[in-house]
Amino acid sequence: MKVIRAKSAGFCWGVERAIDIAREYAQKGRHPVYTDGPLIHNRQMMEVLTGEGIREVGDYRSEAKLEVSKSTDAGAVMVVRAHGISPERREYLKSLGMEFRDATCPDVGIIAGKVRMHARKGYATVIFGDPKHPEVIGLLGYAEGKGHVITSSAEIDALPELGPQVCMVSQSTMFTDEFEQLAARLKARFASALVFDTICGATKDRQADIRELQSQGCQAIVVIGGRHSANTVKLAKLVEIHGLPCFHVETAAELDFSALARFGTVGVTAGASTPAFLIDEVCARLAKTA
C-alpha cells in the first residue's frame, strides 16, 4: 500500500504553543500545572501531559467551579487552554489565587478582539460555529449580551431584527465554503453587515490538503484525531463530501486493515490537536499492509 501523508497533518502552531507553555512550567518544577478543561482535544496527548505533571480540572466547556486547594497547591499554575475563555471565566480563574497564564491560541484571541471591539461600538455579533464548543462559548462572552450563534441558513432567517450594526465572525475550525454561503445569506438580510473571515489558516490548509490528497490518487483517507476535536470531525466530514471512503481513528489500534487492504493508495491526515507520534504510528502500520 502506498501511503501519502498530508503536509498539514498534526499540531497547529496554536496548539503547539499551548503545550509548550504548560510544559515549560512543569519542567521548572511548578506542580501541579492546572488546565481549565482539556488543554487540547486529544485524549492520548492529554495522558502524556498528565504524566508530566499537567493536570486537567473543570469540564469541557470551562463552566464548572474548580476544586483546587490553595493551601497544598502553593506552587500551582492555572493555564488557559488553546480554545480561549470568556472574560467572566478569566476573572474567576484569576480569583483562585494562583499564577495565571493565558495559552489561548492567538488566532482565537484575534476573533475575540474583533467581537469585543464591535460589541463596544453597539454591534450585534453573529458567530458561525458550534454553540456547545468552548471556543464559541468563550467568544460569546465578548459580545456583551448581543451575540447569536448560527449553524444554518434557517437559523439566520430566525434571528431577531438586529438593527443596522451587525458583524459576523466564525469559529476558527469551520468549513470555508459554508461560512461564505452563510455570510451571503446574512448580507441578504442585513445589507450593512460586516463579515470577517476568521477561519484560521491551519484549518484552511487541512481542508485544502484533502483535495490535494485526492488529486494525488488517494482512494481512501485516514483521519487521525480525537472524536471531540471539532477540526478533526470536520476533516472526516470533508473527506466524505469529496466522495472518498473515510476512516476516522484516534490511534493505529483502531485501523480496520481488512477494509483498508483493498486500496492501493491511502492518504493520511490529522487534526490540529493530534501529536506526531500517533500519525507516525498510523503511517507505519499502513505501510506494512499488504
**Tens-place pLDDT, residues 186-228:** 999 999 999 999 999 999 999 999 999 999 999 999 999 999 8
* pLDDT bracket for residue 290 (50, 70, 90): low
Sign of CA dihedral 204, 209, 210, 214: positive
Query: Which residues have a catalytic role annotated?
Result: 135
Asked whether residue 181 falls in the same domain as residue 242, the answer is no
Asked whether residue 191 falls in the same domain as residue 210, the answer is no
Asked whether residue 141 falls in the same domain as residue 179, the answer is yes
Asked whether residue 68 falls in the same domain as residue 117, the answer is no
The number of domains in the chain is: 3
The CATH number of whichever domain residue 41 belongs to comes to 3.40.50.11270
Asked whether residue 23 falls in the same domain as residue 93, the answer is yes
Rg from Cα positions in the chain:
20
Asked whether residue 164 falls in the same domain as residue 206, the answer is no
Report pLDDT for 33. 93
Asked whether residue 190 falls in the same domain as residue 159, the answer is yes
Whether 140 shows a pLDDT value over 90: the answer reads yes
Q: Which of 169, 195, 221 is the last residue of a domain?
A: 195
Instruction: Tell me the CB-side half-sphere exposure of residue 74, using CA atoms within 13 A.
Output: 2
Asked whether residue 118 falls in the same domain as residue 79, the answer is no
Q: What's the mean pLDDT in 137-160? A: 98
Cα 285 from Cα 180, distance rounded (Å): 38
Cα 52 from Cα 23, distance rounded (Å): 8
Asked whether residue 79 falls in the same domain as residue 152, the answer is no
Whether 73 shows a pLDDT value over 70: the answer reads no
Asked whether residue 78 falls in the same domain as residue 156, the answer is no
Whether 70 shows a pLDDT value over 70: the answer reads no
- Name the residue type at position 229: S
Q: Which of 195, 217, 248 is the last residue of a domain?
A: 195
- Cβ distance 203 to 209 under 8 Å? no
pTM value is 0.92
Asked whether residue 188 falls in the same domain as residue 207, the answer is no
Parent domain of 153 = 107-195
The CATH number of whichever domain residue 169 belongs to comes to 3.40.1010.20
The string of pLDDT tens digits covering residues 228-283 is 888 899 999 999 999 999 999 999 999 999 999 999 999 999 999 999 999 999 99
Q: Which of 165, 195, 225 is the last residue of a domain?
A: 195
* pLDDT bracket for residue 289 (50, 70, 90): confident
The string of pLDDT tens digits covering residues 74-116 is 688 999 999 999 999 999 999 998 999 999 999 999 999 999 9
Report pLDDT for 69. 63
Which residues lie across from 224 on neighbouring strands? 249, 270
The string of pLDDT tens digits covering residues 1-55 is 999 999 999 999 999 999 999 999 999 988 789 999 988 889 999 999 999 999 9
- Cβ distance 270 to 250 under 8 Å? no
The C-alpha cell that represents 106 in the structure block: 492567538
Q: What is the 3-state secondary structure (H, E, C) of the chain?
A: CEEEECCCCCCCHHHHHHHHHHHHHHHCCCCCEEEECCCCCCHHHHHHHHHCCEEEECCCCCCCCCCCCCCCCCCCEEEECCCCCCHHHHHHHHCCCCEEEECCCHHHHHHHHHHHHHHHCCCEEEEECCCCCHHHHHHHCCCCCCEEEECCHHHHHCCCCCCCCEEEEECCCCCHHHHHHHHHHHHHHCCCCEECCCCCHHHHHHHHHHHHHHHCCCCEEEEECCCCCHHHHHHHHHHHHCCCCEEEECCHHHCCHHHHCCCCEEEEEECCCCCHHHHHHHHHHHHCCC
